[in-house]
Amino acid sequence: MADLTNEKIEKILENVVDIHTEQNIVVSHALDNIAIDGDKVVIDIVLNYPAKSYHQILADSIKKALSDADIKNSEVNVETKVVAYSTQKGVDILPEVKNIIAIASGKGGVGKSTTAVNLALALQAEGAKVAILDADIYGPSQPRMLGVSKLKPETTGEGKLLPILGHGMQSMSIGYLVDEENPMIWRGPMVTQALEQMLRDTLWRGVDYMVIDLPPGTGDTQLTLSQKIPVSGSVIVTTPQDIALIDAKKGLKMFEKVNIPILGIVENMSLHICSNCGHEEAIFGTGGGKAMADEANVNFLGSLPLEIEIRTDVDEGTPTVAKNPEGRVAEIYKEIARKVSAKLTQQDKAISAFPSITIE
């Protein structure tokens, strides 16, 4: 193709759509640089969300678009650089943590904690630096799910807690600080204080995404989260069952009222496949999560099957994404992780605090 220019190439690349942001790579500002050397074109793409398993697919689609335009000699480089996105106004940022994603459910028993830990590990598998905070003070489950329930966090000379590493991921939970069998008989103010201390008195390091596993419902912890913790977005976990959907809608409305963006809805336990005969049965109903997402005009992030391995994996301390990273269920979690983080890129980027100005 004669007379190559940046403008001509950019026009071609407007036809390449990122399947996760659903925008072309020019509009989404993923196109970082175009270099032309004779008949060779080098394209540099920088995604603002982790998508290691999508890099080659995107590179191939760009090469095909160039080839279809008679540009046969091309090189495409794709990398990820996660940036911080906006949070609620008036809430202090958390040093060393770029983005916080809250995982919530309207009621217990829908697999919220299992979804939270697998989503966190999926973000890590896609190339991000991830931490998980177990905000369920009354029923902490992340220490056991990560296989590190016997460990206790060390403290620094300044009194900061060092996060526990589970499967290479930073974590903190009240479960590390108290005996697993001791009930937390605390009133609301003690719970919210404990949450704030775990968040701000832990020495987090270089975190792209912190996943917060919230307790079910819309109580004190959720209110503290909205008022005092810089949350970038939230994910609602539900099952197709009508009762679960009713409570999930309450959680969704809560985040809307406190101005925390809803990144999408995950439908858990959507379909059971018999391990003996292969018969498929929608035990909890069908399509409830998708219908709820459509009604609320938010993203439907995906459906997860009702499989015994998902439960036994977390009970053993090796969540499915860590135990079988190439398996079908792990791929679903990674697809959800890419959709969640890609949705976050469509928000405003965080603005650095202005310096103090003194007029004399």
Q: Single out the residue of 290, 199, 217 nearest to residue 255, CA to CA.
A: 217
| DSSP state at residue 350 | P
Neighbouring-strand partners of residue 277: none
pLDDT, tens digit, for every residue of 190-243?
888 888 899 999 999 999 999 999 988 767 788 787 788 899 999 999 988 888
Provide the β-strand partners of residue 262.
234
Q: What is the pLDDT of residues 126-177, one digit of tens each?
A: 999 999 999 988 889 999 999 999 999 999 988 899 999 999 999 999 999 8
Give the pLDDT confidence score for residue 212 in this predicted structure: 95
Residue 349: predicted pLDDT: 82
H runs (alpha helix) in 126-215: 142-145, 188-200
Is the CATH code 3.40.50.300 the one for domain 97-344?
Answer: yes
The token duo for 338 is 């890419």
Asked if residue 2 has pLDDT above 70, the reply is no
pLDDT of residue 356: 41
Buried/exposed code over 48-85 (b: 16+ C-beta within 10 A; e: otherwise)? bbbbbbbbeebbebbbebbeebebeebebebebebebb
Query: Which of 65 and 219 is assigned the larger pLDDT?
Result: 65
What is the rounded CA–CA span in Å between residue 135 and residue 64? 46
pLDDT in tens, 296-340: 899 999 999 999 999 999 999 999 999 999 999 999 999 999 999
| pLDDT at residue 185 is higher than 80 | no
State the angle between helix axes of 242-257 and 220-228 in degrees (0 to 180), rounded to the nearest 10. 30
* pLDDT value of position 73: 93
Query: Domain residues of the chain, as ranges?
Result: 6-80, 97-344
CATH 3.30.300.130 fits 6-80, yes or no: yes
Q: How far is CA 173 from the centre of its chain?
A: 18
Distances 157 to 160, 197, 199 between C-alpha atoms, Å: 7, 16, 18
